[in-house]
Amino acid sequence: MKKGLMVMIFLLMITACTSGLPEKTPDGYPGALTTPTIISPNGYPTPATGTTETQQPSPESIKDGVIKSNQKGIELDTLAQDYQEIAANMNAFGYDLYHLLSKDNDTNFFFSPYSITQAMAMTLAGARGETETEMANVLHFQLSQDDLHSRINGLDQSLYRVPENLRDMPDAFQLNVANAIWGQSGYPFKSPYLDLIAESYGAGIHLVDFVKSAEKARITINKWVANQTNDKIKDLISPGALDSFTRLVLTNAIYFNATWQKEFNKKLTHSADFATTADQIVPVDMMEQKGQFNYQYNDEIQMIEIPYMNSRYSMVLLMPRQSDLNKFIQGFDLASYNLLMKSKKQGEILLKMPKFEFESSFSVSNALKDLGMTTPFTDAADFSGMYEQGAQPLYISDVIHKAFVAVDEEGTEAAAATAVIVGATSVMPEEEPLEMIFNHPFMLLIRDRESGLILFLGNVINPAN
């Protein structure tokens, strides 16, 4: 079955600038994919006249419509503190987004800060001037671009390290992170930009024809997304979302499938009540197991960390014991989260949590603008690091994200007020395990315990929905 599955797709679309921005940018791209769209200032699509001399690939570098840069992904021996710093930056951005996306949101939602950051970082690589400054500030990146992308590369490589005891058990843990860029054939992209994306993100440029065949390009990108996410995310980009002004689409896909370190006994799963609100109760399949867990428990909150068989990764569930989840979240910032993780204890817990499976799809554009990333979405945007002089300038038209998560007895499958007061832990008799029941809305995240990176983040409001 599905163990624990999480799938994230991030779609960023970049369009050529027009003299006036379109009244409406495309939206509704399903999927945890992030893509920027770029439009030209004069309003006319660039004719596909062929690649520039500096961009022309050798015949052997072309396969299935993909131009591979002469550069290859660089193997790096990155120091732990280097990628922990990048992970902390990504987490800060992730929490900023989380607060905006969850505010007044009374439905299940789930996203991957890591996936969104990857696609935005690939876009940042071509940004200059005020555009670069705004993007770096919102993403919490403090390093120069010369250092930033190699550090991200180091973090990416570290995530793939599998413990020796799992190397002969491929079904116990699967993590696939894939990047790709889809560029207009004939548009003069700069070779240094393509080289950087290939070296640091492993992304070759797929040449497509948005000008004459935007629908064909859409189908091609959707097939790539489905393939990278084990068919968990299909039809990411909806019909009409791409048009003749589209010049570049950057995609990031994450597929995560992991078995719990200790699986739940299916015979213990039972029907139980889950209070979605103070007035609404829904029946859910409640899983149950007793074991040693990292946890925190006081009058304000209950938190538990559930390890996967690949113990580098874990799921954290956090539920306010009294207050409304949305009110709690607005006062629960990254510093609160870090303090909570540092203060966690270990003990025997009787854990009861619901099975759930749901999908989220939304545009991130407005949230990014609210955080201060405004210029990249206007015709004042400067992405001149991407293209040769004289080419149509570009701007981001939309940023779309889609995610899928499924949690059951075997594991997880996924394709991405006031501060919390950490009081004294409630004391229970030694022979009695602490019972921790997640029976009203709670927050969940999946983290890399080594770097601290938060891969996925979201809220479970109604497990039965």
In tens, the pLDDT along 172-188 reads 788 888 888 889 999 99
The structural domain count of the chain equals 1
d(CA 186, CA 379): 22
For residue 190, the enclosing domain spans 4-416+418-460
Q: Is the pLDDT of residue 131 over 60?
A: yes
Average pLDDT over residues 363-371: 93
pLDDT-derived band at 342 (thresholds 50, 70, 90) equals very high
Buried b (16+ CB within 10 A) or exposed e, 250-276: bbbbbbbbbbbbeebeeeebeeeebeb
Position 77 in a domain: yes
pLDDT digits (tens, 9 = 90+) for 389-437: 999 888 888 888 888 889 998 988 776 411 111 112 233 445 578 899 9
CA dist list (Å): 42 to 17, 182, 225, 245, 370? 7, 22, 32, 11, 28
Q: Is the pLDDT of residue 135 over 80?
A: yes
CA dist list (Å): 420 to 77, 324, 329, 456? 37, 13, 10, 21
How much of the chain exceeds pLDDT 90, in percent? 47
Position 361 in a domain: yes
How much of the chain exceeds pLDDT 70, in percent? 77
Buried b (16+ CB within 10 A) or exposed e, 417-439: eeebebeeeeeeeeeebbebbbb
d(CA 290, CA 351): 6
Q: Is the pLDDT of residue 99 over 70?
A: yes
Select from 364, 365, 378, 401 the least CA-distant residue to 131.
378
Q: What is the CA radius of gyration of the chain?
A: 23
Select from 29, 1, 97, 12 the least CA-distant residue to 357.
1
Q: Is the pLDDT of residue 66 over 80?
A: no
CB count, 10 Å around CB of 377? 22
Position 173 in a domain: yes
Are 257 and 174 a contacting pair, CB within 8 Å?
Answer: yes
Secondary structure of the chain: what % helix, strand, coil (to 5)?
30, 35, 40
Q: In this predicted structure, what is the pLDDT of residue 80?
A: 64
Q: Residue 446 is part of a domain; what is its CATH number? A: 3.30.497.10
Mean pLDDT rounded to a whole number for the chain = 79
- The 3-class secondary structure across 145-163, one letter per residue, is HHHHHHHHHHHHHHHCCCC
d(CA 255, CA 439): 28
Position 168 in a domain: yes
Predicted model pTM: 0.82
Buried b (16+ CB within 10 A) or exposed e, 125-153: bbbeeebbebbbebbbbebebeebbbbbb
Position 283 in a domain: yes
Select from 8, 11, 59 the least CA-distant residue to 37.
11
Position 465 in a domain: no
Task: Give me 213's structure tokens.
Answer: 């065949």
Position 67 in a domain: yes
Q: Is the pLDDT of residue 5 over 60?
A: no
Position 372 in a domain: yes
Phi-psi category of residue 43: left, alpha or beta, with phi > 0 → left and psi -120 to 50 → alpha: left
Are 208 and 65 a contacting pair, CB within 8 Å?
Answer: yes
Buried b (16+ CB within 10 A) or exposed e, 175-190: bebbbbbbbbbbbbbb
> Which residues contact residue 426 at a Cβ distance below 8 angstroms, ignoring those fewer than 6 apart?
297, 298, 434
Are 14 and 34 a contacting pair, CB within 8 Å?
Answer: no
Q: Is the pLDDT of residue 352 over 50?
A: yes
Per the listing, tokens 């705004």 go with 134
Higher pLDDT, 94 or 160: 94
